[in-house]
Every structure is written in structure tokens, then in C-alpha cells.
């Protein structure tokens, strides 16, 4: 899973990236106008995983992970609006979801390219650019399809071309009405046909308000009622400073600012859920591992995530509830107490399930 951070110049995007990834990428005024990409893989905070590790004390631990990508290159000015090059669009398209870092802090030493702090305006400005990018892709493709359709049914692709043309025509209508693709109720077949386009407005998105140290901006002031989206906030500069401290200094710093939990942990979890992902576990003395899977994936699919042989030779899976294992102290004890159930290939795995998969190849 890869999530890209985008934002206008001087929104504090790289600062937020450093906070999320505990990185130390240089942050300078207007650095985002340079087409640089920084990536980092981050462990997904999960107290359940930590408890299971303590129970088993395995030789190896592997938490669930998500990859963040800090994408530079955006330009913005009063007259021309947002400028996204073709190369930059390509870098954004490769992500499974996006985090739009929006400036909500005042700092006279860091100029806003539009002179004033207005998060709602900045959100709409970049959203509009994504819509225009998708429209351009659709119009270019429809020109080619229309040319094919004029040749009639002599082409073997006539029916599929017509179906694609009709779908794109409908989507174009919605985009022209400023409706992003993520808001549309598309069928699975339609989603499959559109997947290759990697439309920007179809990607799940988090609007992440980057606040000043006082955290004085009310999220309720932002209007953003789209599907597959969420709004969160972070004091990027403050949290970047905190995560680079040693444990003792971090505790003192958080106490001074009355911080009970770092926002970055919540944001990492939210961005994970944004992709409709869940976590299941496999346990043992050799390794305790958290696995990422689509929400409500069938047991056979989860087996294939672990190893293709497991899916091919799947027999059954023993399913243990995390809380039951925690109370029993181990899988062995939970089994002895009858705190498990045996399921087949079509069982819908739940977030937090511990699976013991039986297979034969």
C-alpha cells in the first residue's frame, strides 16, 4: 500500500512526512516546487500486535506496514492556479490513496503562495486540478474510441469500445459538474475497466490540516463531504520535533504540551483504513506477524496473502479471537478452552482475527 502526500508550496508537506515517518528530509521554503520524491515504510501502530508479541516472545516480529511518498513539484500562483506537469501527474497516479496536506498555520517567515491562509480555498484548488486532469484523460480517450466506433462493427473491439465510450461519457458528465469519481456508485465491472486510467479523483483522500503549535483551527470549518475521504489535523512542526527526541525528552515534551497521544499514530491508522484494509495475525515462537488484507476478505484470499501454496492447498483455518487469546494467555490455552472456530475458504476474516491455516500441497 502506497499513500502519496501532496500539497501546495509551503503547506508543510515535507514536515508532515518527517513526522509520520520519523524522517529528517530537509524542509525549506518552496522546496515543493522541485520534482523530488521521498519514500518511507512505516509500521502501523497496533496495540493488539504488541500484546501478542509480549505473549509469544518470538524470534521475529513483522508488523503491518504502509508506505508513504512525499511528492514535490506542485506550483501555484494567483493567476495560473495549480501547475502539475505530466511527470508529476505520473508520480501521483502510482499511489493507492492521497493525503492532501493543507496549510492552516500562520507564519510570517513562510509565505503562502496565495498570500493568505484559507484551507477551504486550497482544498478546492487542488481538487479542481485533479478533476481537470481526469477530464483531459477521458476526452483524449473518447476521441480515439469515437474514431473506432465510426468504422462500425467491422472492428472486433466494437462492443467493448462502445461500452467504454458510454462509461467515460457518463463520468465526464459528472466531472464537468465538479463531482469526483470517488463519489460515483460504479459497478465492479466499471471499476475494472477504469483501473488502468488511474484517475486522480477516484483515489481515496485524506484532507490533513497542518496546524500551528497551538492547534487552534476548528476542523468543522472545512466542508468536504465526499465518499472515500476523511479530514484530520496535525501540528506538523511540533510532532516532527517530538518524534526526533529520545524517549525521556519526548515524555517531558508531551507532558509540557499536554499531549496524551501523537496525532501521527492516529493519522497512520486512518490512512490505513482509508484503503479499506484490515489486519489479521499469525502467531508462533518463530514469528508473530500482522498481515494487511482487504476488509472482509475470504479465508482463502488471506491464505494466499501469506503464501500462494496456502491458497492452492487450503483445507481449513482455525480462527481465534484476539481477546480470547489474550485472556487465555496463548493459542494453546484458547484451544483447550474451546475458544476458536473452524472455517472454510469462504469465511470472511474479521479485523484482528488470529488464523492458524491448515493446507496441503
Classify 239 as helix, strand or coil: helix
Q: Which three cell numbers stand for residue 115?
A: 498570500
Tens digits of residue pLDDT in 266-297:
888 888 888 889 999 999 889 999 999 999 99
Return the minimum-mean-pLDDT range out of 108-117, 186-195, 252-261, 344-353.
252-261
- CA proximity to 35, closest of 74, 68, 65: 74
**Chain centroid, CA 202 distance in Å:** 13
Q: What is the pLDDT of residue 108?
A: 86
**Chain centroid, CA 152 distance in Å:** 42
- The rounded radius of gyration (Å) of the Cα atoms in the chain is 24
Confidence of residue 95 (pLDDT cuts 50, 70, 90): very high
Residue 109 DSSP symbol = T
Tell me whether the CATH fold assigned to 2-236 matches the one assigned to 296-359. no
Domains of the chain, by residue range, sit at 2-236, 296-359
Mean pLDDT of 138-155: 89
CA–CA distance from 37 to each of 43, 239, 290 (Å)? 20, 21, 28
CATH H-level superfamily of 296-359: Beta-grasp domain (3.10.20.30)
Are the beta carbons of 45 and 71 closer than 8 angstroms? no
Confidence of residue 32 (pLDDT cuts 50, 70, 90): very low
Are the beta carbons of 223 and 117 closer than 8 angstroms? no
- The length of the chain is 361
Tens digits of residue pLDDT in 42-56:
998 899 999 999 988
Q: What is the pLDDT of residue 82?
A: 62
pLDDT exceeds 60 at position 208: yes
Q: What is the pLDDT of residue 353?
A: 95
| 270, 8, 123, 140: CA torsion to nearest 10 | -100
Q: What is the pLDDT of residue 251?
A: 87
Return the minimum-mean-pLDDT range out of 182-191, 210-219, 231-240, 319-328.
210-219
Share of the chain above pLDDT 70, in %: 94
Q: Which three cell numbers stand for residue 78?
A: 494567483
Mean pLDDT of 255-272: 82
Mention the CATH class of domain 2-236: mainly alpha
Amino acid at each position: 500500500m502506497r499513500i502519496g502526500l501532496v500539497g501546495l508550496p509551503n503547506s508543510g508537506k515535507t514536515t508532515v512526512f518527517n513526522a509520520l515517518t520519523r524522517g529528517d528530509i530537509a524542509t525549506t521554503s518552496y522546496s515543493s516546487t522541485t520534482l523530488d520524491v521521498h519514500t518511507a515504510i512505516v509500521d502501523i501502530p497496533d496495540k493488539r500486535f504488541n500484546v501478542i508479541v509480549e505473549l509469544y516472545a518470538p524470534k521475529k516480529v513483522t508488523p503491518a506496514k504502509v508506505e508513504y511518498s512525499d511528492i514535490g513539484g506542485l506550483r501555484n500562483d494567483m493567476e495560473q492556479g495549480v501547475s502539475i506537469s505530466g511527470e508529476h501527474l505520473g508520480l501521483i497516479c502510482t499511489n493507492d490513496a492521497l493525503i492532501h496536506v493543507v496549510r492552516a498555520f500562520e507564519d510570517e517567515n513562510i509565505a503562502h503562495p496565495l498570500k493568505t491562509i484559507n484551507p477551504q480555498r486550497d482544498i478546492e484548488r487542488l481538487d479542481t486540478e485533479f478533476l481537470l486532469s481526469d477530464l483531459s484523460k477521458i476526452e483524449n480517450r473518447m476521441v480515439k474510441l469515437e474514431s473506432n466506433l465510426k468504422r462500425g462493427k467491422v472492428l472486433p473491439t466494437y462492443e467493448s469500445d462502445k461500452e467504454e465510450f458510454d462509461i467515460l461519457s457518463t463520468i465526464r458528465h459528472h466531472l464537468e459538474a465538479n463531482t469526483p469519481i470517488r463519489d460515483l456508485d460504479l459497478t465492479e465491472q466499471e471499476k475494472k475497466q477504469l483501473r488502468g486510467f488511474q484517475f486522480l479523483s477516484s483515489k481515496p483522500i485524506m484532507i490533513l490540516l497542518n496546524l500551528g503549535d497551538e492547534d487552534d483551527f476548528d476542523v468543522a470549518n472545512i466542508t468536504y463531504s465526499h465518499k472515500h475521504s476523511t479530514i484530520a489535523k496535525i501540528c506538523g512542526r511540533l510532532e516532527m520535533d517530538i518524534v526526533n527526541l529520545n524517549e525521556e525528552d519526548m515524555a517531558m515534551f508531551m507532558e509540557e504540551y499536554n499531549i496524551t497521544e501523537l496525532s501521527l499514530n492516529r493519522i497512520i491508522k486512518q490512512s490505513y483504513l482509508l484503503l479499506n484494509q484490515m489486519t489479521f495475525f499469525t502467531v508462533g515462537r518463530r514469528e508473530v506477524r500482522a498481515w494487511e488484507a482487504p476488509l472482509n476478505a475470504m479465508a482463502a484470499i488471506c491464505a494466499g496473502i501469506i503464501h500462494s501454496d496456502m491458497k492452492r492447498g487450503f483445507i481449513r483455518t482455525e480462527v481465534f479471537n484476539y481477546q480470547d487469546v489474550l485472556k487465555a494467555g496463548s493459542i494453546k490455552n484458547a484451544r483447550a478452552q474451546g475458544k476458536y472456530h473452524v472455517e472454510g475458504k469462504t469465511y470472511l476474516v474479521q479485523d484482528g482475527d488470529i488464523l492458524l491455516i491448515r493446507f496441503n500441497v
